[in-house]
Amino acid sequence: MKQRLEIRIDPNTRAGLDIEARRSGKALTTLVEEYIQQGLARSQGKVIEVESMPEIRAAVREETGKVMAQLYEKLSTDLAAQSRRADDRLAALIVKAVRFAGLGQRMLYMFIRQQTSERDANRIYETAKEQTGKDLARSPNE
């Protein structure tokens, strides 16, 4: 059974309610009840929201932590793979450089040997080897 509610409201609010009741085709009482129910639900929702905020905050924090851990793990894996690729590429370039250096050394030795004698070519080779050893042993800051 419905109960009577006597309240006083602003004339403009009452006029707005009358217009909305005509527009929607609902009785004024039905319209006002709906508005009051919606307002109560909204107010109770805010109370529930405030009460459940610590749990929501904890759940968000936990999920964010999980996602951050997954992203960190993926980043670590990606960086390790990238580092391996870079190391492999560097090793390949070093092998290629050593190969070309050896090839150049042999070609230069053969050229010097053709231009001079084998004894002079060996002497030039030994001198160059000795000087290179000294240069490598020397500090880069000297």
Q: Report residue 83's pLDDT band, with 50, 70 and 90 as the boundaries.
A: very high
Per-domain boundaries in the chain: 11-137
Q: Report residue 74's pLDDT band, with 50, 70 and 90 as the boundaries.
A: very high
If you search the block for the tokens 């919606």, which residue do you land on? Answer: 38
3-class state of residue 91 by DSSP: helix
Asked if residues 18 and 31 have their Cβ atoms less than 8 Å apart, the reply is: no
In percent, how much of the chain has pLDDT > 70? 94
Q: What is the CB neighbour count within 10 angstroms for residue 123?
A: 13
pLDDT digits (tens, 9 = 90+) for 25-42: 999 889 999 888 888 877
Asked if residues 121 and 112 have their Cβ atoms less than 8 Å apart, the reply is: yes
- Region 91-117: mean pLDDT is 91
pLDDT of residue 119 exceeding 80, the answer is yes
Residues 6+ apart with CB under 8 A from 115: none
Tokens of 23: 């527009």
pTM: 0.44
